[in-house]
Amino acid sequence: MADRFYCPEPAQNGRYVIEGEEARHLLRVLRLGPGDRIEIFDGQGRITPVEIKEGGRDRAVLEAVGDTREEPGASQPITLATAIPKGDRFDWLIEKTTEIGVTTLIPLITERSVVDPRASKLDRMRKRIIEAAKQCGRSRLMELAPPLTWPALLTSTSACLTCVSHPGGRAFQDWPSIESGKPLLMAVGPEGGFSDQEIELATEKGWHTVSLGSTILRVETAGLVATTLAMAHAGLAGQRSSS
């Protein structure tokens, strides 16, 4: 696979421009220059092979050398709403959810949350999403939604199926039916889990409580397990409906 770089801006006069950190990585770290060929992606699914035409300190000018192709959208749109763990553990979750194809990530603020995602932390998250997409070959960036409180999430989602991870929830084999291809949302709480009042409010709103297994999981592990199980469950549903 060719080296991949994020270039969200469309071509101007037939040429693309990469600036800032992406350009410095291209020109100074990888030491690529005029005549070298790479791929750029715009984060919306479009990928274009290009050749470097000009390179400066922190700016590269590129020209297409082939047709733009488009990566298909997610066959199973899935949103993960999760509390944010301390330290850099959230970086790991961003990397892994990008790799497996999670569509949207919502930082969640709950009664027991220990991290309040401010603007600087959100900027760091966006950079991690881009880095993970470059590494795994994904060309549609996982969307980072604005942080939401638990009550706000319960009233704002348009997902066809909404589930919250909870130790007393349904075992995997008893999860509610997931229609293949329909949007679904999985919610994961902070260390210590959701409060009884939060779970009660969710069930009043029609959410399903689901178990992620018999052991206690850290926040980032729970987020990955929840979305992976949801995708597997939706895939099994699709196999049953087509058989």
Helix (H) or strand (E) holding 152: helix 150-156
Closest CA to 20 of 36, 8, 37, 3: 8
pLDDT tens for each residue of 17-49: 999 999 999 998 999 999 999 999 999 999 999
CATH 2.40.240.20 domain residues, the chain: 4-70
Residue with tokens 């220059």: 33
CATH 3.40.1280.10 domain residues, the chain: 78-242
Mean per-residue pLDDT for 86-107?
92
Residue with tokens 């000018």: 61
Enter the CATH code of domain 78-242: 3.40.1280.10
**pLDDT computed for residue 1 by the predictor:** 54
E-assigned strand segments in 7-119: 15-19, 37-41, 46-55, 59-64, 69-70, 78-83, 104-109
With pLDDT > 70 as the criterion, what percentage of the chain qualifies?
A: 95
Helices 119-136 and 89-100, packing angle to 10 deg? 40
Mean per-residue pLDDT for 6-20?
93
The answer to whether 170 and 205 are in contact (CB under 8 A) is no
Q: Provide the CATH topology of domain 4-70.
A: Ribosomal Protein L25; Chain P (2.40.240)
Distance set, CA 194 to CA 34, 73, 109, 152, 167 (Å)? 54, 32, 11, 15, 10
Q: Residue 28, Cβ neighbours under 10 Å: how many?
A: 12
With pLDDT > 90 as the criterion, what percentage of the chain qualifies?
A: 70
CA distance linking residue 233 with residue 62, whole number of Å = 43
Question: Strand pairing of 15-19 and 69-70?
Answer: unpaired
Residue with tokens 């101007």: 12
pLDDT tens for each residue of 121-172: 788 899 999 999 999 999 999 999 999 999 999 998 877 889 999 998 999 9
Mean per-residue pLDDT for 68-74?
89
Helix (H) or strand (E) holding 5: strand 4-6
Residue 121's SS3 state is: helix
- Assigned token pair, 16: 């693309």
- Assigned token pair, 241: 């409906």
Mean per-residue pLDDT for 102-120?
86
pLDDT tens for each residue of 189-209: 999 999 999 999 999 999 999
Question: Chain-centre distance of CA 111, in angstroms?
Answer: 24
Closest CA to 143 of 79, 88, 96: 79
